[in-house]
Every structure is written in C-alpha cells, then in structure tokens.
Amino acid sequence: MSSPTFLMPLRMHEDARGKLVSVEGASDLPFEIARVYYIIANPGAARGFHAHKSLEQLLICVSGSCTVLVDDGAERREVLLDRPDVGLYDRPLHWLEMRDFSSDCVLLVLASAPHEESDYIRDYDEFLAAAHARGAA
C-alpha cells in the first residue's frame, strides 16, 4: 500500500490481576489524540464507506472481532482485528469499510482531530481521484 496503514502492537502490562493495555498520545502514536469514540455495530451491519482527507486514526478492537477493508486507491486488503493489544494505524486518504462484527465487538477509535464533516470523502469515485492525484496508483 502506498502510505503506511499497518498493525501496531500496543503495550500490554499483565500480572495476576489481569491485563492493562495503554496508548499515550504522541509518545505511542504519530499524532496527538483529539477524539475518542467506539462502535458497537448490529449483527450484519457494515460501517465506514469513507476516507479522510487529513485525519489519522488508530482502530482497536477492544472486544470481539471485525474485519476492516483498507483501500489506498491502488490496492485493497482485508485486516482482521481480533486482539485488544493490536491496533490498525490508518493514515489519510484510505477508504475504510468495517464489517463482520462479532456480537461482542467494541471497536475503539483514537483520532487526530475532532469530527469535521469537511474532512470526509464519502463518494468512492471522488476518493479514487484524490488517491490518484496523491500518486497512489
């Protein structure tokens, strides 16, 4: 893929009491965390179907599992998120689609900016044009 979207291991601390996974802003991520949200999807639902112009994100499946389709305009690949100690780092201009949510799935997202509708690309052809202009294909 042209710009790195990759699985990122997270620090997990474990002892007799259990496990603690932590993520600390710019020391663990290439961005400061400006927004946190999570998705609890209904069975059979699909989410996403958009790209961002400048937003960076880390997607962490803290419970259950889901599949994320990542498309950079030249290559499409599916990533299974099923561990709370691994996140999917997503850079701008990647089309994401999330599906196959398990009934216990909670998908946590750490984002580099607050919600801003003007940052979204919701039309796939518009995304492809932006990706090709960036040099993805």
Catalytic residue among 13, 50, 94, 132: 50
Using CA atoms, how far residue 60 sits from 9, 12, 31, 129, in Å, is: 10, 13, 16, 29
52 tagged catalytic: no
As a residue count, the chain comes to 137
Residue with tokens 């607050």: 114
User: Are 134 and 85 spatial neighbours (Cβ–Cβ below 8 Å)?
Assistant: no
Cβ atoms < 10 Å from Cβ of 68: 23
CA distance 65 to 89: 16
Residues classed as catalytic = 50
